[in-house]
Chains A and B, each alone.
Chain A
Amino acid sequence: MQSFQLLMDGFAAALTPVNLMYALIGVTLGTLVGVLPGIGPAMTVALLLPITFTVPPTSAFIMFAGIYYGGMYGGSTTSILLNTPGESSSMITALEGNKMARRGRAAQALATAAIGSFVAGTIATALLVVAAPAVVSFAISFSPADYFALAILAFTAVSSVLSRSIVRGLASLGIGLVIGLIGIDQQTGQARLTLGVPQLLDGVDVVIVAVGLFALGEALYVASRLRHSTPEVVPVGRAWMGKADWRRSWLPWLRGTALGFPFGALPGGGAEIPTFLSYAAEQRLARGVAREEYGKGAIEGVAGPEAANNASAAGTLVPLLTLGLPTSATAAIMLAAFQQYGLQPGPQLFDHNPALVWGMIASLFIGNTMLLVLNLPLAPLWARVLRVPRPYLYAGIVLFAALGVYALNGTVVDLIVLFVLGMLGFAMRRFGLPVAPAVIGLILGPMAEIQLRRALAIGAGDATVLVSSPMAVILLLLAAGALLTPVFRKLLARRTPEAPAPASREETNQH
């Protein structure tokens, strides 16, 4: 029960007026960017990274965690009220949610999403409290070779899950790794890939990469294919639901949580797969009214996936805090924030900075409660945010992107780099390269290099040290398995009489 005591200390840290204010700012901002198209939690946290110079770490992470959770709540509002696929994590919610809204049940759809997110977020955070110390006690014995294998697994899993075509996922990852190489080598002080430009000696700032790929890339992409019809937002009042809706929602919430948390914790698990699985499970389990309504707006199809995506957000924090392993773009940026404070998430973080870790975890419970209050009565307000004229929205996003990047070093050179990365982000979107692997490669790449060199130094140059522990072997085998998924898919497709799977081909380069 040591972790319970630590959690109570965490609450004491999180419940100070200043930290409550940061939590409130975080969840409000998170909901706002979650609702707004074209801007998400990853980019928001990236733009706020510079505050790490002035704000104490506990407060900053309380705010960042609030943004992460808030983004999940806000995304569901957009999916339900606007009939367009939005962020990938709430895409599934749109299937039933928007149909409910069209049938005049928007208030109930929003209510089951918000309450479900609260239930799932709270249970999943409790699971995080239990799981984190267990993973820490397990990870304390990890060698550099194990960490390197873990990074390789994260790389391959993220690349193969987020894209239908694994080549494109890996290409995105590689772009991130290459950008991560630029600058001075940490161990020997040698400049790499700087092309003689002195500004590049410190490397390309994470903020510029994230803001370029996400904000500017999105703005250019939207410019190329702007929907010229005005978005049709379903009008809604205060979110509420009746007795029958509660009866139909609570089981899907629990099942969604059970699916979301473990998938979020896996490298490459993310929110997409569990939300989809939850949707499919609810469809199969639907009886009576639910069965008739499925496909036409059944509340189960909103309750389950929404719970799953919030639970997966909490799950993501397990590998992030205990192993320093980011499994989503937002988690990767939060890892960058830890690094700005000179902190390295992992078993040591729990030992050396218990106040920070447990304060952040406690704030998740608080933030979740705030989000419930923010989302149920204020639903009409968020619906109005959705009607922001798009030209102003994207002009504003680009303006804030420029502001955030310029403020870093006060130089126009950074703005040019931002533009180049924006063009890259545009091309990646247009040709279906997922952006998240690039961000994860950028941030995890340098750490993978350090662990690799450490491992090989321990082995005195003998490469077999990389496969000397059973843990590393298992992780590398899983990584190879992730790379070979297209082959399995192809074999399955061959067994069925249908046409073979298009596009993707296997890829066997890493070891």
Chain B
Amino acid sequence: MSTPQDVAKRRWWRPELGLALVVLGLGVFVVLGTLDVSAAASQLGLGPRFFPMLVGGSMIVIGLFYVADVLRGGRGDPEESEDVDVDAPADWRSVGLVSGIFLAFTALLNPLGWVLAASLLFFGLSLALGAEHKVRAAVVGVIVGLVTYLLFVKGLGVTLPGGLLQGVL
């Protein structure tokens, strides 16, 4: 929908082709990945491989049609949503930041514990998504981290890692 794509209209590669190839690849993966599943357990020739073969085969056909469709210039309509400007160019910096912050959170969750890691997650994400007041974002982040911990661990008996603050809370 955006200008860079219009410029690249003549080129055969478009990002959507990547998704189409993933679909095709999934089909191949299903067929190859279930080759080692033996059907010996079934007496009627309907072992655990039958349905995966059906799904995998269908996915390959769908994937081929999808690839062909993209190559011939077809494109899906980007989903419309309340907070999305469909005509805006993709902001890859934000996507990268959000991904990085989320992955950092998964790495830090066990060592730091839920309260600290979740506070940092909230703080980082709100800044990445354009929050202007750093202090306010930090305060809200800490409150959310604390409240969810107390509510879910003390109130609902969910297990969340205590981390550095283990024993303090």
Is chain B a partner of chain A in the same complex? yes
B118-147 CB contacts (< 8 Å) to partner A:
118, 121-123, 125-131, 137, 140-141, 144
B84-106 CB contacts (< 8 Å) to partner A:
84-86, 88, 90-92, 94-95, 97-99, 102-103, 105-106
**Residues 161-198 of chain A, each 1 if its beta carbon lies under 8 Å from chain B, else 0:** 00111011011001101100100010111111101000
A448 to B19, CA, bound (A): 26
B5-31 CB contacts (< 8 Å) to partner A:
15-16, 18-20, 22-23, 26-27, 29-30
B38-59 CB contacts (< 8 Å) to partner A:
38, 41-42, 44-48, 50-52, 55-59
A81-121 CB contacts (< 8 Å) to partner B:
82, 84-86, 91
Of the residues B45, B59, B85, B128, contact of A178 by C-beta under 8 Å = B59
Across the interface, do B95 and A220 meet the contact criterion of CB distance under 8 Å? yes
**Which residues of the other chain, A, contact B50 by a CB distance below 8 angstroms?**
452-453
**Which residues of the other chain, B, contact A190 by a CB distance below 8 angstroms?**
37-38, 41, 47-48
Across the interface, do B125 and A394 meet the contact criterion of CB distance under 8 Å? yes
Nearest B residue to A424 via CB reads B22
B49-81 CB contacts (< 8 Å) to partner A:
50-52, 55-59, 61-63, 65-66, 68-69, 74-81
Of the residues A177, A231, A453, A457, contact of B55 by C-beta under 8 Å = A177
Known pairs A37-B81, A192-B52, A431-B16; A178 contacts B91 (CB<8 A): no
Across the interface, do A170 and B62 meet the contact criterion of CB distance under 8 Å? yes
Q: Is A21 an interface residue (CB 8 A)?
A: no
Classify the interface of chain B: helix, strand, loop or mixed. helix
Across the interface, do A399 and B122 meet the contact criterion of CB distance under 8 Å? yes
Across the interface, do A507 and B26 meet the contact criterion of CB distance under 8 Å? no
A403 to B148, CA, bound (A): 9
Shortest distance from the beta carbon of B150 to any chain A beta carbon, whole Å: 13
Across the interface, do B90 and A225 meet the contact criterion of CB distance under 8 Å? yes
Known pairs A225-B90, A457-B44; A181 contacts B30 (CB<8 A): yes
Q: Is A406 an interface residue (CB 8 A)?
A: yes
Across the interface, do B46 and A219 meet the contact criterion of CB distance under 8 Å? no
Across the interface, do B48 and A192 meet the contact criterion of CB distance under 8 Å? yes
Nearest A residue to B59 via CB reads A174
**Which residues of the other chain, B, contact A503 by a CB distance below 8 angstroms?**
69, 74-76
Shortest distance from the beta carbon of B71 to any chain A beta carbon, whole Å: 12
Q: Is B160 an interface residue (CB 8 A)?
A: yes
Across the interface, do A391 and B125 meet the contact criterion of CB distance under 8 Å? yes
Q: Is B159 an interface residue (CB 8 A)?
A: yes
Nearest A residue to B68 via CB reads A505
Number of interface residues of A (CB under 8 A): 87
Shortest distance from the beta carbon of B17 to any chain A beta carbon, whole Å: 10
Nearest B residue to A168 via CB reads B76
Across the interface, do B102 and A419 meet the contact criterion of CB distance under 8 Å? yes
Across the interface, do B95 and A426 meet the contact criterion of CB distance under 8 Å? yes
Across the interface, do B19 and A505 meet the contact criterion of CB distance under 8 Å? no
Across the interface, do A86 and B82 meet the contact criterion of CB distance under 8 Å? yes
Classify the interface of chain A: helix, strand, loop or mixed. helix
**Which residues of the other chain, B, contact A218 by a CB distance below 8 angstroms?**
81
Across the interface, do A452 and B84 meet the contact criterion of CB distance under 8 Å? no
**Which residues of the other chain, B, contact A422 by a CB distance below 8 angstroms?**
102
**Which residues of the other chain, A, contact B125 by a CB distance below 8 angstroms?**
219, 391, 394-395, 398-399
**Residues 210-243 of chain A, each 1 if its beta carbon lies under 8 Å from chain B, else 0:** 0000001011111111111001000000000000
Q: Is A373 an interface residue (CB 8 A)?
A: no
Q: Is A15 an interface residue (CB 8 A)?
A: no
Across the interface, do B76 and A433 meet the contact criterion of CB distance under 8 Å? yes
Across the interface, do B77 and A432 meet the contact criterion of CB distance under 8 Å? yes
Of the residues B16, B46, B107, B131, contact of A392 by C-beta under 8 Å = B131
Of the residues B62, B84, B160, contact of A407 by C-beta under 8 Å = B160
Which stretch of A4-12, A257-265, A341-349, A409-417 is in the interface?
A: A409-417
Q: Is A396 an interface residue (CB 8 A)?
A: yes
Across the interface, do B83 and A226 meet the contact criterion of CB distance under 8 Å? yes
Q: Is A510 an interface residue (CB 8 A)?
A: yes
Across the interface, do B131 and A431 meet the contact criterion of CB distance under 8 Å? no
Q: Is B109 an interface residue (CB 8 A)?
A: yes
Q: Is A135 an interface residue (CB 8 A)?
A: no
**Which residues of the other chain, A, contact B80 by a CB distance below 8 angstroms?**
84-85, 91
Across the interface, do A223 and B94 meet the contact criterion of CB distance under 8 Å? yes
Shortest distance from the beta carbon of B111 to any chain A beta carbon, whole Å: 11
Having A91-B80, A391-B131, one finds 20 other A-B pairs with CB under 8 Å, namely A174-B59, A178-B56, A188-B42, A191-B37, A218-B81, A224-B91, A224-B92, A226-B94, A227-B84, A227-B85, A390-B83, A392-B131, A419-B103, A429-B81, A431-B19, A431-B76, A433-B76, A460-B44, A503-B76, A509-B61
10 A-B pairs with least C-beta separation:
A432-B76, A37-B82, A395-B125, A185-B48, A391-B131, A391-B129, A188-B41, A509-B61, A223-B94, A391-B126
14 of the cross-chain contacts (CB-CB < 8 Å) are: A181-B55, A228-B130, A390-B129, A390-B130, A391-B129, A395-B125, A395-B126, A395-B129, A398-B121, A403-B118, A427-B22, A431-B15, A505-B74, A507-B61
